[in-house]
Amino acid sequence: MSRVPKHSELIESIYDAGLHPELWSDVVVMLNAFIGSQACGLISKDTVSKSGATHYYCGVDPHYIQLYSETYSRYDPLARLPQYGEVRNIPDLVNFDEYRRGRFYQEWLRPQGCVDVANVVLEQSKSPCPMLMTVIPGKEMLDAEQRARMRSLAPHASRALLINRAIERKQQRATALADVVDRLNAGVILLDSACRIVHSNPAAETILAADDVLRSMAGRLVTRSSEANLALRNIFRDPAEVAVAAAIGRKIPLMAHDGSHYVAHVIALPSLLRDGATERTSAVGALLVWKAELDSRSCAGLIDRTFELTPAELRVLQSIVEVGGVPETAAALGIAETTVKTHLHRVFAKTGVSRQADLVKLAAGFSNPLLH
């Protein structure tokens, strides 16, 4: 025989289960002891098919739980659900004598030595499959004291289930968002206030593994450039600084040993992963890191339309970004350096920039780091 918990102790346990659903099995045992019933459970009922699913229970042989799910939920007189918060037993809803002649009583309840069942609906919304607290009093009918105890517990169980639902939705959003982040072609690195790496997605792991433009030293993010390092330290030392940098679209230019350019875009963490996180994180912000290169699938056409570049000018722009300076571009395109310079000056005039480095930054701004 389970110890009968105090009302305050039971309420506290119910709300604990609201935060930690795995505790509901223990709470159901406490509910059963407090109500003084033979069996108790939390079940969901489909309002259309009348089928039922038992989520947590005690006091019933698992064989009967399976029979209820497979067959007898359809014959349950309490399939006609009461209003939210109303405790109803069988005589409240159907003719008791007719009920005793039916399959539910004769084949499911009576073999367990019981005569009555009581339900209270725990969800106010018009859910197609609401959750209920179900009680089997035992050899006697539900009495007034048991009814009152069920009624007193229903609002608390209802709120705890709402908390469960809210946490579950946040977890689903966080899981979905984390999955999206892990699938990005761009690197995503979450940093704490000391620029220690809290999390990095697979693309970021690839960048870090190259030990070039970015690297991890004792878990701390370090760049090849002392200037970029200082910028990172200044930004990530305070969440407020991260928020300001993110709001103005702060980007930190990076360069690999071979001269290729990367861009690190500062992101305020609340807009990325903190909303919906189930555990507190030490990260204060994130970096979205990608190689500054033109992707013919995503940005070449956009730059062409924006600045009305000719095909030749666009090829020169793309080569400057991906290959390097004028001599390298001339060799890569098989044209004279003077021709490259001519196209480059026209590109400068149309885009409003005057240096190749600024051209790289401009092109990076049009590049879509999210494409695979």
Q: Which residues contact 239 (CB under 8 A, 6 or more apart)?
A: 193, 268, 269, 284, 285
> Are both 160 and 217 inside the same structural domain?
no
pTM above 0.75, yes or no: no
DSSP β-ladder status, 261-268 and 285-291 = antiparallel
| Helix, coil or strand: residue 104 | helix
Give the closest residue to 325 by CA, choosing from 369, 260, 263.
260
Per the structure, the count of domains in the chain is 3
> CA-to-CA distance for 306 and 292, rounded, in angstroms?
18
Question: At which of 235, 264, 291 does a domain end?
Answer: 291
Q: What is the dihedral of CA 226, 231, 235, 241, to 10 degrees?
A: 160
DSSP β-ladder status, 131-136 and 39-45 = antiparallel
> Are both 43 and 165 inside the same structural domain?
yes
Give the closest residue to 58 by CA, choosing from 27, 88, 87, 34.
27
Q: Is 218 exposed, middle or buried (0-12, 13-18, 19+ CB in 10 A)?
A: exposed
Give the closest residue to 220 by CA, choosing from 236, 240, 202, 239.
236
Does residue 369 register a pLDDT over 70?
A: no
Does residue 371 register a pLDDT over 50?
A: no
DSSP codes joined into one string, 192-259: -TT-BEEEE-HHHHHHHHTTSSEEEETTEEEES-HHHHHHHHHHHTSHHHHHHHHHTT-EEEEE-TTS
Q: Which residues contact 211 (CB under 8 A, 6 or more apart)?
A: none
> CA-to-CA distance for 292 and 260, rounded, in angstroms?
8
pLDDT at residue 325, as a whole number? 85
> CA-to-CA distance for 82 and 94, rounded, in angstroms?
12
> Are both 54 and 168 inside the same structural domain?
yes
208 lies in which domain range?
188-291
Does residue 112 register a pLDDT over 70?
A: yes
Does residue 48 register a pLDDT over 90?
A: no
Mean pLDDT, range 67-76, rounded to an integer: 85
Question: At which of 172, 201, 217 does a domain end?
Answer: 172
> Are both 16 and 142 inside the same structural domain?
yes
> Are both 137 and 261 inside the same structural domain?
no
Give me the CATH number covering residue 304. Answer: 1.10.10.10
> Are both 160 and 17 inside the same structural domain?
yes
pLDDT at residue 296, as a whole number? 47
> Are both 13 and 111 inside the same structural domain?
yes
> Are both 287 and 319 inside the same structural domain?
no
In a domain, residue 2? The reply is: no
Percent of the chain residues past pLDDT 90, beyond the cut: 38
Which of the four pLDDT bands, split at 50, 70 and 90, describes residue 274? very low
Give me the CATH number covering residue 23. Answer: 3.30.450.40
In a domain, residue 182? The reply is: no
160-163 contact pairs (CB < 8 A, 24+): 160/14, 160/15, 160/17, 160/18, 161/18, 161/122, 161/123, 161/131, 162/18, 163/15, 163/18, 163/19
In this structure, what are the phi and psi dihedrals at residue 86, rounded to the nearest 5 degrees?
-90, 130
Does residue 308 register a pLDDT over 70?
A: yes
In a domain, residue 86? The reply is: yes
In a domain, residue 122? The reply is: yes
In a domain, residue 177? The reply is: no
In a domain, residue 210? The reply is: yes
Does residue 82 register a pLDDT over 80?
A: no
| Helix, coil or strand: residue 88 | strand
In a domain, residue 1? The reply is: no
Q: Are 79 and 50 in contact (CB under 8 A)?
A: yes
Give me the CATH number covering residue 287. Answer: 3.30.450
In a domain, residue 13? The reply is: yes
> Are both 166 and 204 inside the same structural domain?
no
> Are both 283 and 304 inside the same structural domain?
no
Amino acid in the structure at residue 333: L
Question: At which of 172, 197, 228 does a domain end?
Answer: 172
Which of the four pLDDT bands, split at 50, 70 and 90, describes residue 272? very low
Rounded CA Rg of the chain: 33
> Are both 277 and 311 inside the same structural domain?
no
> Are both 11 and 139 inside the same structural domain?
yes
Q: What is the pLDDT of residues 142-176, one digit of tens each?
A: 999 999 999 999 999 999 998 988 888 877 776 66
How is residue 107 annotated by DSSP?
I
Q: What is the pLDDT of residues 309-352, one digit of tens each?
A: 898 988 888 888 777 788 888 988 899 999 999 999 998 898 88
Instruction: For the chain, give the mean pLDDT.
Output: 84
